[in-house]
């Protein structure tokens, strides 16, 4: 009396990876049985890095949003605060006080307004150059904030009175004092710049690189360090 043959995978049944087929050979990992089944998904970007196009899109999106909001708030400030006493908010924590600044913070360099547009153009050029190898989403946000803030104040320097490249920047937010005697009066572009720079410093301190890699405390890429110790391989630990 012979044993009944073991049924193999029928024409509509898929074999899983590692399961022997009718020819006695195991199906290679990552493949399925019959044609028509969905193949393996595209592998993620190595090391979790963000694709360059996506990182560039985030950088430009954040930058343009910051620029648009800065221009809008300056327009509203000119409409609502011109020839008006400072407006007190939050019990004197914040004041809305319209000022025009020909220099930097605390009016530094007020007699050399022309130099600030040149510095800003250099910063914008550096950001666009860095974008060519940008693979990090946090760095894209950081550089986007810096880009938007730089362009916001650059627009004032170029197009506002008293003239081309010597225009005065519109500021409207003062902290703890209506006339900026505690902290310089600033605008949304300044806030964007400061937030972007702070984020960049935090990213540098945590070893996150603009190409999406990350450095360990020993200065080596985290992936290389894991491979050297065996932590990055399956079964590397008991």
Question: From CA 152, how far away is CA 6, in angstroms rounded?
Answer: 74
Out of 111, 171, 211, 226, the active site residue is: 171
CA distances (Å), origin 233, targets 30, 42, 229, 238:
19, 21, 9, 12
8-state DSSP, 105: G
Is 23 a known active-site residue? no
CA distances (Å), origin 35, targets 31, 32, 181:
10, 8, 74
Alpha helices in 51-136 (DSSP H): 52-81, 115-130
Out of 190, 211, 226, 231, the active site residue is: 190
Instruction: Name the residue among 164, 211, 214, 173 with its Cα closest to residue 192.
Output: 173
Question: From CA 222, how far away is CA 225, in angstroms rounded?
Answer: 5
* Three-class SS state of 24: coil
User: Do you find a cis peptide bond into 162, omega within 30 degrees of 0?
Assistant: yes
The per-residue b/e assignment along 178-206, b for 16 or more CB within 10 angstroms, e otherwise, is bebeeebbbbbbbbbbebbeebbeebeee
Is 190 a known active-site residue? yes
What residues are labeled active site?
Answer: 171, 190
């Amino acid at each position: 009396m012979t044993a009944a043959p073991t049924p193999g995978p029928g024409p509509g049944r898929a074999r899983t990876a590692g399961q022997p087929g009718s020819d006695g050979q195991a199906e290679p990992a990552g493949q399925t049985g019959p044609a028509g089944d969905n193949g393996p998904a595209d592998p993620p970007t190595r090391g979790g890095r963000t694709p360059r196009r996506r990182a560039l899109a985030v950088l430009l999106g954040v930058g343009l949003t910051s620029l648009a909001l800065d221009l809008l708030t300056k327009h509203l400030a000119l409409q609502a605060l011109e020839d008006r006493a400072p407006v007190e908010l939050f019990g004197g924590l914040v004041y809305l006080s319209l000022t025009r600044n020909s220099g930097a913070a605390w009016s530094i360099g007020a007699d050399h307004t022309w130099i600030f547009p040149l510095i800003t153009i250099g910063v914008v050029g550096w950001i666009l150059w860095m974008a060519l190898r940008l693979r990090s989403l946090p760095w894209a946000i950081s550089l986007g904030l810096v880009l938007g803030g730089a362009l916001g104040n650059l627009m004032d320097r170029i197009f506002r009175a008293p003239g081309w490249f010597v225009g005065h920047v519109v500021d409207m937010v003062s902290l703890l004092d209506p006339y900026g005697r505690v902290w310089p009066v600033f605008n949304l572009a300044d806030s964007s710049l400061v937030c972007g720079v702070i984020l960049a410093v935090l990213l540098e301190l945590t070893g996150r690189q603009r190409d999406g890699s990350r450095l360990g405390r020993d200065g080596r890429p985290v992936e290389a360090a894991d491979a050297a110790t065996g932590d990055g391989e399956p079964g590397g630990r008991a």
